[in-house]
Structure 1
Amino acid sequence: MTKVLVLGGYGAVGIPLMKQLAKVPEISAYSAGRDPARADVVVDLKEPGAYSTVVRDFDVVVNASGFEDVRLADEAVRGGAAFVDITATSSYCEELEAVDGPVLMGVGLAPGLTSVLATEAHRLGDGPVDILIGLGGGELHGPAATAWTYGMLGTRFPDPDGRSIRNYTGMKTFRIPADATGYRTGPAVRADFSDQHALTRDLGVPVRTYLRLDTSTATLGLAAMTWAPALQKVVPKKLWGSDRWVAMARADTGPALWVSGRSQSVATAAIAARAVQVIRDAAISKPTWFHAVETTESLQAAVPELSVRQWDGASRSSGKTVH
């Protein structure tokens, strides 16, 4: 029996993750957090001593809390556990890559599914790879996801060509498959999802991630706010749109790979549950990205609701970049 501790196990991702892990007979999962009414294991992640004592009793620790402190990974692996993180933050992933022990990162919808799609698009085609992640503006996201999205307003990150890119600029129009319910062809903007940097290194080609919401109005609003971050104070947590998402990756040549579904949090939880099985079964001894140990074929077999499809209508010539 593999004992799994889910940090933030009663949050937006934690709740569906606990449900997913409960379906696996070989896994015994426990939620962790500060609220004794909701947590199986009561622990304050900001208290190092308490956390390090708790994790010694577990084989795998999954960080779904949104609390990004590399100490969590360090103390977990020192206690003999493997560590899984669903973060999308580039700087935090750089710290996780320096941990001396089994850490699986880039787990979730984006990064995670997007990374696996990009790797397959690169295998089937040539040239730079574009990743598109579309998120439903109508989904009520957890506080960590909301803070992450708005926290990037006005900030910058490095492009593969060396330029400094402001988040939510570099608008480009992407064609969307007709079967991607809730989405039409529309604009997307650059965003600093962590996997594009790891993929650029691992695949040896430039990889760039673009973000859009399910309505063009909401996407354009995000692009406007990056020049006036203070506007986030007047934006509601739940925007226009639905809870539908789409993920797509395309190279210069070859087909695009895409998946769509409902609820970003549920999809992230399903992939995180798969990651627990991967890190339990694979011989991981050092920090590893999800796309290095998972393929579109193995992921779809393990998570059938993630139906990966190919599409020939997403040629790069259809996208126009506006700087």
Structure 2
Amino acid sequence: MRTLLLGARGAVGSVIRRELEHRGHRVTAAGRSAPGGAAIDLHAGLAPLARAAAGHDVVVNASGVERPEVAEAVGPTPLVEISATGSYLDRLRGRARGPVLLGAGLVPGLSTLLVSALDSRPGDDVDVLVMLGTGERHGPAAVAWTAGLVGAEIHRPPEGAPIRNFRQGVREVGPDGRSRRYLRADFPDHVLLGPSRDVAIRSYLTLGSAAMTAALGGIARVPALRGALARSPHLGSEAWHVVARNRRTGERREATGSGQSEATGRLTALAAVRVVERPGRGVATMADVVGLDEALDCLRPLPAPAADTGEG
């Protein structure tokens, strides 16, 4: 399989490249400066992207650049998009000319699979509870995405009324048994799955540090302070978890791990392989092409290298 990888040098892109090459696939690294790869500037004209896409089996956008025209530029070549911005994914869906997978990665992505695995019926309310570790150094695109939520309204919330990010919250018990405050956040599973399943999906975010979660809630009420997010210290662990819960039945599906970028990269690489293996799906989500069990399997810790005993 030949993959054109946009953003190959980033925190997530480097994991995607490693995973695909480990599976024996060929990866063309693409970026503004890509020695030995493809020089593609997504902020400029997209003709170079169109030419490069034609020679590959799949295009993966891990660049953090959100241009709906990308879907038109890649033409019939399958596109895998890791963005978590619901409004952008909506626009991308409308521009698709070939197979497009919306929201590969952790949230959405793994969260989409967990929600789909719930036994739900029309009219149910589903909560997606996300914890991201504060010890991980995220790339500029991830920090900018979180800062962009501050003061912004959630895209097409199930309530049908304006809801601002991080202004509301719930206190819930996570997979580790600890009670935490989760703040309402614009992760887009309600856009990707809500209408088709006729369920109201609400997503919430907590950080590995309770103090930083409280600070995020405070910044949400003074959006001018959003720049402070980029200067926040990286305290705590890299642990993350995702929980999907049906309010009516109490059923929960959950997953835990360490390293958000690592998990997102592994899941996206798996999604890229499955999109090529199962062509002709049009616009899809992770739940359309990847099974929950295989997604969880790909997140299991890598085995430690065998010790060199010096014998033989």
Question: Where in structure 2 are the equivalents of 1:140-289 lying within 5 Å?
Answer: 140-157=137-154, 158-178=156-176, 184-235=178-229, 236-252=231-247, 253-289=249-285
Shift of 1:241: 2.1
**Partners in 2 of 1:297 and 1:36 — Cα distance?**
35
Kept after mapping to 2: 8 A contact 1:154/1:166: yes
Pair 1:259–1:205, CA change in 2 (3 A)? same
Pair 1:216–1:305, CA change in 2 (3 A)? same
Shift of 1:163: 2.0
SS at match of 1:13: helix
Note the alpha carbon deviations across 1:37-74, whole angstroms, 9 max, x for none. 4x622222222222222222111000000001111121
Shift of 1:297: 2.5
Question: Which amino acid in the other structure matches residue 19 of structure 1?
Answer: R
**Partners in 1 of 2:253 and 2:123 — Cα distance?**
14
Equivalent position of 2:12 in the other structure? 13
Shift of 1:125: 11
**Partners in 2 of 1:297 and 1:44 — Cα distance?**
37
Any stretches of 5+ residues in structure 2 without a counterpart?
A: 302-312
Note the alpha carbon deviations across 1:98-146, whole angstroms, 9 max, x for none. 1121001121000000110111123599931100110011211111110
**Partners in 1 of 2:228 and 2:292 — Cα distance?**
40
Question: Which amino acid in the other structure matches residue 54 of structure 1?
Answer: A
Question: Which amino acid in the other structure matches residue 178 of structure 1?
Answer: D
Do residues 44 (structure 1) and 41 (structure 2) align?
yes
Percent identity, aligned pairs only?
32
Pair 1:70–1:262, CA change in 2 (3 A)? same
The partner residue of 2:31 within 9, 33, 49 is 33
Give the count of matched residue pairs. Answer: 296
Equivalent position of 2:23 in the other structure? 24
Note the alpha carbon deviations across 1:10-46, whole angstroms, 9 max, x for none. 1010011100001112x21121111244x62222222
Kept after mapping to 2: 8 A contact 1:141/1:237: no
Kept after mapping to 1: 8 A contact 2:127/2:244: yes
Kept after mapping to 2: 8 A contact 1:97/1:288: no
Structure 1 runs (4+) deviating above 4 angstroms are 123-126
**Partners in 2 of 1:219 and 1:237 — Cα distance?**
12
Root-mean-square deviation over aligned CA pairs: 2.0
Note the alpha carbon deviations across 1:186-244, whole angstroms, 9 max, x for none. 10011111122222112211111001101211111111111112212234154432211
SS at match of 1:137: coil
Equivalent position of 2:306 in the other structure? none
TM-score by length of 2: 0.89
TM-score by length of 1: 0.86
**Partners in 1 of 2:265 and 2:121 — Cα distance?**
28
